[in-house]
Amino acid sequence: MASEIRVPPLGESVVEATVGKWLKHEGDAVEAGDVLVELETDKVNIEVSAQQSGVLQRIARKEGDVVAIGEVLGTIGDEASAQAPARQQPAGGVRAPAEQQPAAQVPAGRQPTPVAPAPAEQFAQPAKAVEKRSRETEREEQPAASPLARRIAAEHNVDLAQVQASTPHGRVTKEDVLSYLEQKAAVQQPLQPPTEPPSAPPQPVGTPPSPQAEAERLERALSPVMPEAVPAGREERIRLSRRRQTIAQRLVEAQHTAAMLTTFNEIDMSAVMEIRSRYKEMFKERYDVSLGFMSFFTKAAVSALKAFPQLNAEIQGNELVLKYHYDIGIAVSTDEGLVVPVLRDADHKSFAEIEREIADMARRAREGKLTLAELQGGTFTITNGGVFGSLLSTPILNGPQAGILGMHKVEQRPVVVNNEIVIRPMMYVALSYDHRIADGREAVQFLVKVKELVEDPVALLLEG
């Protein structure tokens, strides 16, 4: 009996998705639980699995289509129903049902000769079983790869087993596949000598050019220069994922709807780095997680938000909503784009709990295992461009939040301390804020508060 493949519930406030990649094709045998198609939503990708075993009879929505909850994506039927039309429609044309065919005339005293079954019917089931086992073996031998990497590899007929993974855990990324394609193109493309346009026959010295030659020269000089066609392999068109489209839309909306402004300061990281150096082994042994900068800045940001609640607020209509809970979004970069999982009730968590939850959320974000609930409801955001080497930047608000704190690279710089020039590990920090909610005075004082607490971790512990 056939069953329909429908778009499942996508999560709170998410009503539509984009068909990302069909992992099965029409006519493929499927088992209950096999992943059939990936759906891309604004925040996470969702896998739709088969509810019964059978054959994928029909794909109703192709890749790139926008679908709503409950919409039919395709149909799964059992093997018997899939093979029935083929047996009922012979190659010679349409055949009437068996009960309408006239019985063959058999002479008296003779029995009709039984007809042997066609070889195709005898061996159809074993062939399908072998094909199914082959597909399962091939799927097991495929290396771990991101959905975007698999999509690009499929479009260019690339065997992922031949692609060298650059990540520590052996997961093939989009960049790995693109690098493989570039190397392959460089090896296969032979060097071609530059071609030169045929030159006109030389004119004898002292002989004036003919009127026809002079006219052709003027025509070439006055003709507009046409752009050369882009050689094959120099460009590639890739459909933007649903997440990348949403990121682009939200960032533009933040700039259009908020009066965004950024203020800067710098922090002497000497005290924090000394604490990390002194206690990192004990901290790692006791809590099974490394002591990083994020816990210090999260604690400092929460204390500053308590002192300046305008930066932990949002505008709803004609009202300003001040929030007295501190759900801090931590920006994480993944192969599919930037995501911001939320650290709930950060004011009630210890340094170890903050570090452990941030590490867990970052890992699951890169594996695509975050839920929609973990990406919603943040009140303030922290982003660390320093992990990529950024020295200074202006972060964009994560609307409708009123503030985002940007951390950057720690760099040894000369500074003046007690009228002496000394070398200290310094970090530039940036606070982007919505000027409709907070004035420059509150924003600058907020950043000064963060600076004071990070530079004096004892005071940070007392604040906590």
Kindly state the tokens that stand for 4.
């329909």
Instruction: Report yes or no: 189 and 234 within 8 Å, Cβ to Cβ.
Output: no
Q: What are phi and psi of 269, to 5 degrees?
A: -90, 10
- Compute the 3-state secondary structure of the chain and give helix, strand, coil in percent, each to the nearest 5: 40, 20, 40
How far is Cα of residue 103 from the mean position of the Cα atoms in its chain? 64
Q: CA Rg, the chain, in Å?
A: 33
How far is Cα of residue 452 from the mean position of the Cα atoms in its chain? 37
Measured on CA atoms in the order 357, 360, 364, 366, is the torsion positive or negative?
positive
Q: How far apart are the first and last CA of the chain?
A: 62
Cα gap 333→351, rounded to integer Å: 22
Report the catalytic residues.
Answer: 435, 439
DSSP 8-state assignment for residue 145: B
**Neighbour-count burial of 49, counting CB atoms closer than 10 A to its CB (0-12 exposed, 13-18 middle, 19+ buried):** middle
CB neighbour list of residue 288: distance below 8 Å, 6 or more residues apart: 356
